[in-house]
Amino acid sequence: MIDHPSLHVAILLDGNGRWAASRGLARSEGHRAGVDAVRRIVRVAPALGIGTLTLYAFSSDNWGRPSIEVASLLSLLEAYLRSDASKCAADGVRLRVIGRRDRIPASLSQAIEAAERITASARILELRIAIDYSARDSILRASCWMLSSLEISEREFAKRLGEVTHTSGPALDVDLLIRTGGDHRLSDFMLWECAYAELFFTPRMWPEFEAADLRDAIEDFLKRERRYGKLPEAAAS
């Protein structure tokens, strides 16, 4: 176990399709293998000091993909929520889904509500799955809500942002953001929350991401000096 304060780690789950294509498989098989990777990482996250784990599973831009792939992705997400909720509850994992809920299938919305209800009392790890999520859209809607606010502050905005994304409280700053698949960009993920996040990019595709890869990312994070715009400790002394 890595001994440090509880971390909020966010991961962009990239590379499922390319992983499948490199093996001559359908893209849907890559997404299916990606669900297995989710289970591996959730299992080891608490021992690595992670208290909140946010996974980017389906972005609002993903609606632009072929309808067959979209349907397959959403079906896989629904199946995961229905099949794993009870085990998550037993393991102390609280499931929450962030993002919009007005455009997803009714059956997926029902699965989300059931999973959140079943795992509501879990406290070891909060697992947040981003579905139909866009940071820009969330910031825009939270900003509109701020027009009626009596308090103009980062604290109040974080509260509003949490409300529009269905989190369990104010938007929570990300400590470490990991992106698999080799690309070096945020892709509209947790833009407000990642203002001072440390970034870790790996060429490994998400279906092949293992517990050892997550440990390496955490250990790399722990070596960094987070200054939040201030001077390094040596220069300030």
| 14 catalytically annotated | yes
pLDDT score, position 208: 98
Q: Which of 3, 36, 61, 62 is catalytic?
A: 62
| The one catalytic residue among 3, 14, 173, 175 | 14
DSSP letter, residue 207: G
Which runs of E-coded beta strand occur in 60-158?
A: 93-98, 125-133
What pLDDT shows up at residue 167? 83
pLDDT in tens, 151-177: 788 988 898 899 989 887 888 999 999
Q: How many CB atoms lie within 10 A of CB 114?
A: 14
Q: Which residues of the chain have pLDDT under 50?
A: 235
The answer to whether 62 is a known catalytic residue is yes
Side-chain-side CA neighbours of 153 within 13 Å: the count stands at: 6
Q: In the prediction, which pLDDT does 151 show?
A: 78
- Of the candidates 73, 129, 59, the one whose C-alpha atom is nearest the C-alpha of residue 96 is 129
Q: What domains can be seen in the chain, in order of their start residue?
A: 1-51+66-133 (3.40.1180.10)
Residue 225, phi-psi category: left (phi > 0), alpha (psi -120 to 50), beta (remainder): beta
- State the first-to-last Cα distance of the chain, in angstroms, to the nearest integer: 32
Closest CA to 198 of 184, 216, 177: 177
pLDDT at 3: 55
d(CA 81, CA 74): 11
pLDDT, residue 1, reads 54
**Which pTM does this prediction carry?**
0.92
